[in-house]
Amino acid sequence: MATSKPTEPRSRPKVPRPEAAEELGAETPALAISAEKVCFVVVKSREFNAKDTVTEPDTGSNGSDDNMISVLEDHRDDPVLEELTSFISSLAEEEQVDLVALAWLGRDDNTVEDWEALREEAQRAHSSRTTHTADYLLGMPLLSDYLEEGLVQFGQSCADVEIEHL
């Protein structure tokens, strides 16, 4: 029987909290990456994590004959993975650093007050990392939740971005 990848639970609503930094008496720092780019990574990483394990590795069938089921399976040449990896790799170094720092911000018990320290650590990791940023980030099973939570701490959300683009 095929096992599927765990889906990303939505443990709490992602409501922007612009007062997060204000509560601490500090200004919200600026991000080098736009909310639109972060939200693109969020959406694509959810698509990627929704894939199931491959049940029939070499069907030899026409996709339209089998109801395109292979699209939902986690193949090595997955176009979603390729698109996401390409997108992250094409970001400027500062944007990649902020993306990693945002994931860390959303993953841990840090606040916007810790942003500079997180960003410095992400910069050090980026400079010394032997793996690509995309590979590192895509290894986080809850990447989309972490990024959304990080944005929330900056008073932004993907819901705002979706509204602007619809």
95 lies in some domain:
yes
How confident is the model at residue 15, as a pLDDT?
A: 41
22 lies in some domain:
no
DSSP the chain: ---BPPP----S-----THHHHHTT-PPPPPSS-HHHHHHHHHHHHHHHTPBPPS-TT----TTTTTTGGGGB--TT-HHHHHHHHHHHHS-HHHHHHHHHHHHHHHSS--GGGHHHHHHHHHHHHHH-SS-HHHHHHT-TTHHHHHHHHHHHTT--HHHHHHHH-
In total, how many domains does the chain have? 1
Tell me the backbone φ, ψ of residue 4, rounded to 5 degrees.
-110, 160
Average pLDDT, integer, range 3-32 = 52
94 lies in some domain:
yes
150 lies in some domain:
yes
Residue 128: pLDDT band (50, 70, 90) is: confident
How confident is the model at residue 162, as a pLDDT?
A: 75
137 lies in some domain:
yes
Average pLDDT, integer, range 13-40 = 68
Structural domain range at position 79: 31-53+67-159
76 lies in some domain:
yes
> Each residue of 58-116: pLDDT tens digit?
555 555 555 555 555 454 657 778 889 999 999 999 999 999 999 999 998 889 999 99
Evaluate if pTM is beyond 0.75.
no
* Residue 132 clears pLDDT 90, i.e. is over it: no
How confident is the model at residue 113, as a pLDDT?
A: 93
* Residue 161 clears pLDDT 70, i.e. is over it: yes
> Each residue of 32-62: pLDDT tens digit?
999 999 999 998 888 877 655 545 555 555 5
Highest mean pLDDT among 11-20, 98-107, 133-142: 98-107
* Residue 2 clears pLDDT 50, i.e. is over it: no
